[in-house]
C-alpha cells in the first residue's frame, strides 16, 4: 500500500498527450523535436502567436494550454520558458487539468538568491492551488519513459526494461540510463527531479516500490526534504525490490558541491549510512559501482559470495586477485576433501594439484576438464560462487580444439542449468574488442555478469555481502 | 654503473640467432612457428633425428646445439623439452657458447617435490660450469623483445616502445604487454622469469635501470631471493626511471597462492612496502593500477596533483567525483580571486557563478569559454592540474557549433602548448565506442591520459602523490 503522505504518480502509464511549452525557433525546437521524434501519443506546441511551425506541420500550436479544445485532454507538459513566466503557465495548466509538468527552466532555489527562493515559493503555491497538477523540477529534465517514447534527448535509448532510475541531475541520469542500458539493463522510468520542489526523492522511491514496471531501483541522492529521513527509511524497509543508492556529498568537499549544485543540504553522513544499511539498501560510492552492482543484482539477485572459488588463466594474476579479494573480506577457502576426491581422476591424469585459486593456464582449451572442476566446486556447500577470468588473447590465439568463444559459453550454459550459485566473469579490456564484446553478450544471456577487472568484482561482491551482514 | 653482483644482460640487443630446442610435431611446432613468424635473425630447430621439417624448409635442423657449425654462433635458445633432459642440453649449449637460454620446461622448484628441487640445483650447477650462459626460468616464458621480433606467442604485439616489463608469470606478462601496448605504451623488453633460478627480479630491474631502450619499469613481484631485499632497495634508489611495482602475496591468502604458484616466500609486507616507498617506487595494488599509473607516468611524468580543478558535464557527477577525490586526499580548492577576476567578463555574461568543481553542462558546446576557464585555472599557482570529464553522449547529440570531437582536442592542444601542468580526462565506457576510441586517440597524442572512471583517476593520482610524500 502506498504511503498516503507521498504523491500519487500511478497515472504515468496512461500519458497519452504532451504539450511542449516554449518551443523556440532560436533553439531549433530542441525539445519539441525530441518528443516529436519518439512520443507515440498526441503532441502540442505552446508558443506566442500560435502560428503553425513549418518543420512540424502535424503538431497543433496554441498560445496557451487552456486554449486547447476541452475535448482534448493534456496529460503532461514540458516547460522551457524564462522562469518569470513559469508560475502563470502552471496556473493555466491547472485550469486545463494537466496531470504532470516537467519544469526545465532554472533560476529558482538553485540560483542561490532571495528572488529565486521567492519564485519557488510562488510556484509551489500555484501547484497547491491548481490541485490536480504535480511538477517535476524546476531545474530538472523531468521524465524519461522509453516505453511511451518520452525522453529529453534524442540520443537516449528507446529500449525499455525494468530498472527505475532517479537523480537530481539530468547529466547523471543520462550517464545512468546509457550505462545501465548498454550493460543490458534497460530502464522502466527515469526521473531527473532537479530542485525537487514538489515531486521529491521520497515520492519517486515510493512510486518505484509499487510500480509493476520496475524491479530494481537505482537512485542518486544529494539530500532530502528536512525531517523526512525517517519516512524514507520506513518506505525502504517496506520495499521488496533491490535498491542501489549513491549518496552525493559524503565528504566535506562533496557536501559543498551539493550545496552549489541544487541548494540541498547533504546531511549527516554517518546517520544516513546507518539508516540505509538498516533498510537493506546497497549504498555504493561511484557511478561505476551502480553499473557493477546493478548487473550483479539484475542477473544473479542479491546472493552473497562470502567464500569464492577463483579460476585465472595465469598463476600470477591469481595471486593479485587473491590479494584484492582478501582485502574486500571475500575468502578463497581451501578445497575440501570432497572436491579433491571427486576430481581425483582428472588430477592424477594431469599430474597437477588443484588449489584455490585454480591456475587454469595449462588446460584452458580442455573445456571438459573445466566443466568437471566447476561442477565439483559448485556442488560443495563451502563454496558460494565462482569468479572466472577469461582472457581474450587465448581465444584469439587458439590453434586446436573447438573454438573457445563457442565452447566456453556452451559449457557454462550446462553449468548454470545445474547450479543456482553465482558465476561472475573477468574479461580484461586489453584490446580484442570484438571477441570481448561477443563473449560478454553470450555470458549475459546466461546471467553471468562480466567485469573488466577484479577490483570492480570485489567491490560489487562486498556491497552485496554487506546487506546480508547489516540487515536483520 | 651496474651493480657487479648482478648478472650482465647488456648483450640482448645483439641477439642474431635463435635455436628452438624440442621443436615437436605433436605440438604443431608451436614455438618454432612463433619465432619463425617474426624473428628477424637466423633460426635453428633442435630435435632428435635432425631431419628437415616440411613446414619450415628454410630452418636448419640439428640433433644438438653443438652440432651447429662453429662459424655459426647461437645467441639465444628456447628450451621446451621434458625436464629430465634440460641439464644435459644446458651443458651442450655451454659448449656452443650460447649466451642466453629461456627454459619453458617446468617441474623444478615449482613442482614442490624433492626431486624437482634437486633438478634445479643440478641445473644451476650446469649453468655455473658453462660460465658463458645465463638462463631465464625454468617454468617461465623467457624473453619478449618486439624490436627483434622475439616473442613467445604469435598474438603478442610487435609494436615496440620504452616500457620494460617483468613478471614471474607468463600469463601476467601477457596481460601487461597487451594492456600497456593497447593503451599506447608499447614494450621495450619483457621478462617472464618463472622460478628465477638464475636471472632473477633484481637482475632484470638492474638491467632495465641502465637499458637505453627502457624509460619506464613495470614489475610484478612475488618474492626475492632470501636476503636480497637491501640490494634491491639500493638499486631502486639509484634508479632515475619511474618504477611501478605490483607485489603479489600481500595478504595471507595471496601469500599462500604465491607459494603454490612459484614456491617463493612472499616476505613481510610492511617491511617491503616501507622499503619500496623509501626508494621512490610506485607500489600499486592491481593489474588495472599498472595501466592507470603507467599511462599517467608515460604521458605526464611523476607530477603530483594535490590540488585539482574538476570539470564535469553534470553537477551531480561532479558531486560524486568530489567525494571520491576527497577520499583519496586530492583537494578541489575554491577558486582564487585571481581566477574569478580573470573570468569576470564571461561570468557576468552567462549569469552563472564559477565554482570548483565546474559544472560545464550548460556550455559544453562553447569551446572558447572552456578554453578561457582552463587558461585561468592553469595559470593559478594554487591549481596543480585539471581533471576533465568528456561525455560521448553530448558529442553524439551535438546539433550546433563545430563538431566537438574535433574542436575539443584542437582547444586542448592550444592549452597543452601553453601550460605544463597535468590534464587528465574521464570518458565513461557507456556505449558510443567509436567516438570514445577516436577521442582517446586524439587526447593520447596530446599527452592527456584517458580513464573510464573517477575511481581509477583518483587511485592513480594518489599513487603518484604518494611518492612525493614518502620519498626524501
In a domain, A1, yes or no: no
pLDDT of residue A1: 42
For residue B1, pLDDT beyond 50: no
Q: What percent of chain B has pLDDT over 70?
A: 92
The residue whose grid cell reads 550446462 is: A414
Beta strands in A109-242 (DSSP E): 134-136, 142-144, 160-167, 187-192, 216-221
Question: Per residue in A184-195, pLDDT tens?
Answer: 999 999 999 999
pLDDT of residue A340: 86
CB A222, CB A248: distance < 8 Å: yes
Give yes or no for B463 touching A (CB within 8 A): no
In a domain, B219, yes or no: yes
Average pLDDT over residues A327-334: 95
In a domain, B7, yes or no: no
Using pLDDT thresholds of 50, 70 and 90, give the confidence band for residue B221.
Answer: confident
pLDDT of residue B2: 45
For residue A55, pLDDT beyond 60: yes
pLDDT of residue A472: 42
pLDDT of residue B340: 86
pLDDT of residue B403: 84
One domain, residues A280 and A157: yes
Tell me which of A239, A268, A300 is where a domain ends: A300
Tell me which of B136, B166, B199 is where a domain ends: B136
Question: Euclidean distance between the first and final Cα of chain B, in Å?
Answer: 22
Q: What percent of chain A has pLDDT over 90?
A: 66
Give yes or no for B248 touching A (CB within 8 A): yes
Question: Does the CA dihedral A286-A292-A297-A302 come out positive or negative?
Answer: negative
Beta strands in A86-242 (DSSP E): 100-103, 134-136, 142-144, 160-167, 187-192, 216-221
Using pLDDT thresholds of 50, 70 and 90, give the confidence band for residue A127.
Answer: very high
Average pLDDT over residues A44-48: 95
CA-closest candidate to residue A109, choices A132, A138, A71, A134 = A138
Question: Per residue in B144-167, pLDDT tens?
Answer: 999 999 999 988 999 999 999 999
One domain, residues A348 and A370: yes
The residues in B 328-347 lying below 8 A from A, measured between CB atoms, are 331-332
Model-level pTM? 0.86
Give yes or no for B469 touching A (CB within 8 A): no
One domain, residues A85 and A153: no
Q: What percent of chain B has pLDDT over 90?
A: 66
In a domain, B5, yes or no: no
User: What is the average pLDDT score of chain A?
Assistant: 90
Distance CA B382, CA B385 (A): 9
B275: number of Cβ within 10 Å: 17
For residue B224, pLDDT beyond 60: yes
CB A166, CB A210: distance < 8 Å: no
Phi–psi pair at B226, nearest 5 degrees: -50, 135
Helix (H, G, I), strand (E, B) or coil at A165: strand
Identify which of A167, A253, A261 has the shortest CB distance to residue B332: A253
CA-closest candidate to residue A330, choices A389, A386, A274 = A386
Q: A394 to each of A84, B180, B249, how far by Cα in Å?
A: 63, 17, 25
Give yes or no for B220 touching A (CB within 8 A): yes
Q: Please tell me chain B's helix, strand, coil percentages from 3-state DSSP, rounded to the nearest 5.
A: 45, 15, 40
Using pLDDT thresholds of 50, 70 and 90, give the confidence band for residue A253.
Answer: low
The alpha carbon of residue A397 is apart from the nearest alpha carbon of chain B, in Å, by: 6
For residue A457, pLDDT beyond 70: yes
The residue whose grid cell reads 617454468 is: B139
Using pLDDT thresholds of 50, 70 and 90, give the confidence band for residue B307.
Answer: very high
One domain, residues B121 and B60: yes
B320, A248: Cβ pair inside 8 Å?
Answer: yes
In a domain, A208, yes or no: yes
A445: number of Cβ within 10 Å: 12
Using pLDDT thresholds of 50, 70 and 90, give the confidence band for residue A22.
Answer: very high
Using pLDDT thresholds of 50, 70 and 90, give the confidence band for residue A377.
Answer: very high
pLDDT of residue A231: 86
Lowest mean pLDDT, pick from A66-70, B157-161, B169-173, B253-257: B253-257
pLDDT of residue A268: 67
One domain, residues B208 and B335: no
pLDDT of residue B440: 93
Please state whether the peptide bond connecting residue B138 to the residue before it is cis, i.e. omega within 30 degrees of 0: yes
pLDDT of residue B350: 53
For residue B212, pLDDT beyond 60: yes
Q: What percent of chain A has pLDDT over 70?
A: 92
Using pLDDT thresholds of 50, 70 and 90, give the confidence band for residue A243.
Answer: very high
Question: Per residue in B356-369, pLDDT tens?
Answer: 999 887 788 889 99
One domain, residues A277 and A319: no
Helix (H) or strand (E) holding A320: helix A315-326
Distance CA A422, CA A427 (A): 17
pLDDT of residue B445: 95
pLDDT of residue A2: 45
pLDDT of residue A263: 58
Identify from A244, A323, A350, A457 which residue to disrupt to test chain B contact, counting B C-beta atoms within 10 A and taking the largest count.
Answer: A323
In a domain, B203, yes or no: yes
The alpha carbon of residue A450 is apart from the nearest alpha carbon of chain B, in Å, by: 14
User: What is the average pLDDT score of chain B?
Assistant: 90
Q: Which cell numbers hold the place of A139?
A: 531545474
pLDDT of residue B311: 95
CATH number, domain of A83, equals 3.40.50.720
One domain, residues A149 and A94: no
Identify from B26, B284, B323 which residue to disrupt to test chain A contact, counting A C-beta atoms within 10 A and taking the largest count.
Answer: B323
Tell me which of A266, A300, A334 is where a domain ends: A300
Using pLDDT thresholds of 50, 70 and 90, give the confidence band for residue B131.
Answer: confident
Question: Per residue in B314-366, pLDDT tens?
Answer: 888 898 899 999 999 999 999 998 888 888 777 665 545 678 999 887 788 88
Identify which of B155, B361, B433 has the shortest CB distance to residue A393: B155
The alpha carbon of residue B8 is apart from the nearest alpha carbon of chain A, in Å, by: 26
Beta strands in A92-186 (DSSP E): 100-103, 134-136, 142-144, 160-167
Average pLDDT over residues B78-91: 96
For residue B380, pLDDT beyond 50: yes
One domain, residues B287 and B318: no
A248, B174: Cβ pair inside 8 Å?
Answer: no
Residues spanned by the domain of B75? 12-136
Identify which of A323, A391, A455 has the shortest CB distance to residue B254: A323
Give yes or no for B410 touching A (CB within 8 A): no
pLDDT of residue A303: 96
The alpha carbon of residue A329 is apart from the nearest alpha carbon of chain B, in Å, by: 11
CATH number, domain of B256, equals 3.40.50.261
Average pLDDT over residues A207-214: 97
Average pLDDT over residues A436-444: 93
In a domain, B1, yes or no: no
One domain, residues B241 and B132: no
CB B310, CB B322: distance < 8 Å: yes
A308-312: strand order across its sheet:
A358-359, A308-312, A385-389, A423-426, A450-451
Q: How many CA atoms, within 13 angstroms, populate the side-chain half-sphere of residue A338?
A: 9
A257, B355: Cβ pair inside 8 Å?
Answer: yes
CA-closest candidate to residue A73, choices A41, A26, A48 = A41
CB A305, CB A331: distance < 8 Å: no
Query: Which chain A residues are within 8 Å of B172, Cβ to Cβ?
Result: 314, 316-317, 320
One domain, residues A22 and A110: yes
Q: Which residues contact B43 (CB under 8 A, 6 or more apart)?
A: B17, B18, B19, B20, B32, B35, B36, B59
One domain, residues B323 and B466: yes
In a domain, A5, yes or no: no
A261, B315: Cβ pair inside 8 Å?
Answer: yes
For residue A412, pLDDT beyond 90: yes
Average pLDDT over residues B173-189: 94
Average pLDDT over residues A430-441: 88
Residue predicted with more confidence, A221 or B299: B299
Average pLDDT over residues A20-25: 90
Distance CA A362, CA A109 (A): 63
The residue whose grid cell reads 605544463 is: B420
Query: Which chain A residues are within 8 Å of B313, Cβ to Cβ?
Result: 171
A286 to chain B: nearest residue by CA? Answer: B320
A175, B317: Cβ pair inside 8 Å?
Answer: yes
Identify which of B182, B246, B316 has the shortest CB distance to residue A430: B182
Using pLDDT thresholds of 50, 70 and 90, give the confidence band for residue B470.
Answer: low
pLDDT of residue B383: 97
Distance CA A124, CA A126 (A): 5
Please give the tally of structural domains in chain B. Answer: 3
One domain, residues A315 and A273: no
Check: complex ipTM more than 0.85: no
Average pLDDT over residues B33-45: 96
Distance CA B308, CA B388 (A): 10
| Residues found in chain B | 472
Amino acid at each position: 500500500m502506498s504511503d498516503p503522505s507521498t504523491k500519487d504518480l500511478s497515472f504515468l502509464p496512461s500519458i497519452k498527450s504532451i504539450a511542449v511549452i516554449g518551443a523556440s525557433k532560436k533553439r531549433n525546437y530542441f525539445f519539441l523535436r525530441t518528443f516529436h521524434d519518439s512520443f507515440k501519443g498526441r503532441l502540442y506546441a505552446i508558443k506566442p502567436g500560435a502560428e503553425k511551425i513549418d518543420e512540424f506541420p502535424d503538431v497543433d500550436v496554441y498560445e496557451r494550454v487552456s486554449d486547447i479544445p476541452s475535448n482534448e485532454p493534456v496529460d503532461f507538459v514540458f516547460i522551457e520558458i524564462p522562469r518569470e513566466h513559469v508560475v502563470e503557465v502552471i496556473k493555466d495548466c491547472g485550469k486545463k487539468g494537466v496531470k504532470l509538468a516537467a519544469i526545465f527552466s532554472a533560476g529558482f532555489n538553485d540560483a542561490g538568491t532571495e528572488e529565486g527562493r521567492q519564485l519557488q515559493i510562488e510556484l509551489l503555491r500555484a501547484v497547491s492551488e491548481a490541485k490536480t497538477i504535480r511538477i517535476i523540477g524546476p531545474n530538472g529534465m523531468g521524465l524519461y519513459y522509453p516505453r511511451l517514447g518520452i525522453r529529453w534527448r534524442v540520443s537516449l535509448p528507446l529500449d525499455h526494461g525494468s530498472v527505475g532510475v532517479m537523480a537530481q541531475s539530468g547529466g547523471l541520469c543520462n550517464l545512468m540510463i546509457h550505462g545501465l542500458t548498454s550493460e543490458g539493463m534497460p530502464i522502466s522510468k527515469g526521473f531527473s527531479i532537479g530542485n525537487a520542489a514538489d515531486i521529491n526523492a521520497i515520492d519517486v522511491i515510493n512510486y518505484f516500490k509499487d510500480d509493476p514496471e520496475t524491479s530494481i531501483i537505482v537512485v542518486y541522492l544529494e539530500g532530502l526534504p528536512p525531517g523526512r529521513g525517517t519516512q524514507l527509511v520506513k518506505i525502504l524497509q517496506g520495499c521488496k525490490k533491490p535498491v542501489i543508492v549513491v549518496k552525493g556529498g559524503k565528504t566535506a568537499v562533496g557536501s559543498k558541491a551539493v550545496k552549489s549544485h541544487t541548494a540541498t543540504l547533504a546531511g549527516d553522513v554517518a546517520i544516513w549510512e546507518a539508516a540505509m544499511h538498516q533498510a537493506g539498501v546497497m549504498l555504493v560510492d561511484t557511478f561505476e559501482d551502480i553499473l557493477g552492482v546493478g548487473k550483479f543484482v539484475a542477473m544473479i539477485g542479491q546472493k552473497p559470495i562470502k567464500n569464492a572459488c577463483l579460476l585465472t588463466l595465469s598463476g600470477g594474476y591469481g595471486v593479485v586477485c587473491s590479494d584484492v579479494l582478501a582485502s574486500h573480506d571475500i575468502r578463497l577457502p581451501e578445497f575440501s576433501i570432497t572436491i579433491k576426491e571427486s576430481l581425483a581422476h582428472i588430477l592424477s591424469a594431469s599430474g597437477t594439484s588443484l588449489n584455490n585459486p585454480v591456475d587454469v593456464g595449462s588446460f584452458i582449451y580442455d573445456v571438459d576438464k573445466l566443466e568437471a572442476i566447476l561442477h565439483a566446486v559448485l556442488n560443495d556447500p563451502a563454496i558460494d560462487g565462482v569468479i572466472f577470468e577469461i582472457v581474450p588473447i587465448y581465444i584469439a590465439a587458439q590453434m586446436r580444439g573447438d573454438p573457445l568463444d563457442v565452447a566456453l559459453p556452451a559449457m557454462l550454459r550446462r553449468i548454470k542449468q545445474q547450479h543456482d550459485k553465482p558465476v561472475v566473469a573477468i574479461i580484461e579490456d586489453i584490446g580484442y574488442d570484438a571477441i570481448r564484446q561477443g563473449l560478454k553478450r553470450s555470458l549475459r544471456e546466461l546471467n553471468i555478469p562480466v567485469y573488466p577487472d577484479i577490483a570492480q568484482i570485489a567491490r560489487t561482491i562486498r556491497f552485496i555481502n554487506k546487506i546480508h551482514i547489516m540487515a536483520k
